[in-house]
């Protein structure tokens, strides 16, 4: 069996504040294999981006991180800053949520791609890097790349800026690409184009991808495996079919039930009641209990363990093996 490219064990991420420790990621365990797409979904504030930024070691000084992160034989959390900089942007790259703030407004897009290339390989001349920047923009579908490469980020549309960010992220052929909400604030047509570009890039480079999103419809047509997060914890992990058809977690089911069904125009939406809990105070019992229609007394006192409910399918729920069969949510409906 292929060895995992990335292994994350017992990852915990907290932020020290005046009010106390905000526990943003708790007991995170997962693997990503070469060439696969792992989607991470959940509501805003569930810990998706925090987990990714911890893997990249891009966090403020008040961050407290514990656990183990092994990437291709490298212990990322215990590497020196210099060694981490050599990996970050080269072997592991990230597409950030907002390309307008992630890119420097006073340098042209081409110069920023050139810098990304040459900082990891000084033997590449500026002219060679500039030619590669043009090729990268062409690869990701930016029109007239020879002209656009000299333009500044503000001269690009939202979709083009996202494509430019993808070009910058893949400039050094990373083994792992982390895409953090790559289609945020884009219309559905541009979303489809951006995802098509990502899949073409993945096919071209053979890289693995960690796709962070709250859009289950996007996941349905893009991922190999899915992990669902809520209130800093992984709630369920499985294949596309296991998550959409055979979910054994109340939170995952609630997410699926809240998706509008275009075939049932007269049906009411099923929103998840209540709000996510504050992560400032230690959670007692299951974090989803106040919003869960299946909750029982045991859910109020014990943090549920991750239970195996199938082949490579786990659920963090004390009742995971007792839940009734899913109502019939499907990947086709989600897409």
Strand partners, 306: 316
Residues 77, 11: Cα–Cα separation, whole Å:
10
Tokens for 84?
A: 């981490």
Percent of the chain having pLDDT more than 70? 95
Residues 260, 267: Cα–Cα separation, whole Å:
9
- Per residue in 284-310, pLDDT (tens digit) is 899 999 999 999 999 999 899 999 999
* Burial environment of residue 164 by CB neighbours within 10 A (0 to 12, 13 to 18, 19 or more): buried
- pLDDT of 225 > 60? The answer is yes
Q: Top-level CATH class of 1-91+176-335? A: alpha beta
The confidence score (pLDDT) of residue 124 equals 95
- pLDDT of 333 > 60? The answer is no
CB 30 within 8 A of CB 210: no
- Per residue in 250-297, pLDDT (tens digit) is 999 999 988 877 666 656 778 899 999 999 888 889 999 999 999 999
The confidence score (pLDDT) of residue 331 equals 42
- pLDDT of 132 > 70? The answer is yes
**pLDDT band, residue 164 (cuts 50/70/90):** very high
Average pLDDT of the residues in 309-335:
77
The confidence score (pLDDT) of residue 162 equals 87
30-34, 86-90, 99-103, 237-241: segment of lowest average pLDDT: 99-103
Closest CA to 271 of 293, 286, 297: 293
Domain ranges, ordered by start, for the chain: 1-91+176-335, 102-171
Q: Measured between alpha carbons, how far apart are the two ends of the chain, in Å?
A: 31
The confidence score (pLDDT) of residue 335 equals 39
Average pLDDT, the chain: 90
Closest CA to 334 of 259, 266, 243: 259
- pLDDT of 83 > 80? The answer is yes
| Strand pairing class (20-32; 6-17) | antiparallel
22 Cα distance to chain centroid: 20
Eight-state DSSP code of residue 103: S
């Amino acid at each position: 069996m292929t060895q995992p490219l990335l292994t994350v064990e017992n990852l915990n991420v907290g932020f020290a504040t005046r009010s106390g420790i905000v526990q943003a990621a708790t007991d995170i365990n997962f693997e990503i294999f070469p060439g696969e797409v792992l989607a991470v979904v959940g509501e805003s504030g569930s810990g998706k981006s925090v987990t990714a930024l911890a893997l990249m070691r891009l966090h403020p000084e008040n961050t407290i991180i514990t656990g183990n992160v092994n990437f291709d034989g490298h212990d990322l959390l215990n590497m020196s800053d210099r060694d981490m900089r050599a990996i970050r942007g080269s072997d592991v790259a990230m597409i950030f949520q907002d390309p307008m703030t992630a890119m420097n407004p006073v340098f042209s897009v081409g110069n920023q791609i050139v810098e990304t290339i040459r900082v990891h390989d000084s033997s590449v001349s500026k002219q060679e890097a500039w030619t590669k920047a043009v090729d990268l923009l062409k690869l990701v579908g930016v029109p007239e790349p020879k002209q656009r490469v000299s333009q500044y980020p503000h001269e690009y549309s939202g979709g083009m800026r996202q494509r430019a960010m993808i070009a910058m992220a893949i400039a050094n052929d990373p083994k792992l690409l982390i895409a953090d909400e790559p289609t945020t604030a884009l219309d559905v047509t541009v979303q489809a184009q951006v995802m098509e570009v990502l899949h073409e890039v993945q096919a071209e480079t053979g890289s693995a991808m960690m796709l962070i999103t709250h859009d289950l419809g996007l996941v349905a047509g893009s991922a190999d495996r899915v992990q669902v997060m809520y209130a800093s914890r992984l709630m369920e992990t499985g294949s596309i079919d296991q998550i959409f058809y055979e979910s054994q977690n109340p939170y995952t089911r609630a997410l699926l039930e809240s998706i509008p069904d275009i075939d049932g125009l007269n049906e009411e939406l099923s929103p998840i009641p209540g709000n996510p809990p504050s992560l400032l105070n230690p959670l007692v019992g299951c974090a989803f209990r106040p919003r869960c229609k299946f909750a029982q007394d045991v859910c109020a006192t014990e943090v549920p363990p991750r239970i195996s409910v199938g082949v490579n399918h786990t659920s963090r729920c004390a009742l995971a093996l007792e839940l009734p069969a899913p109502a019939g949510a499907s990947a086709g409906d989600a897409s």
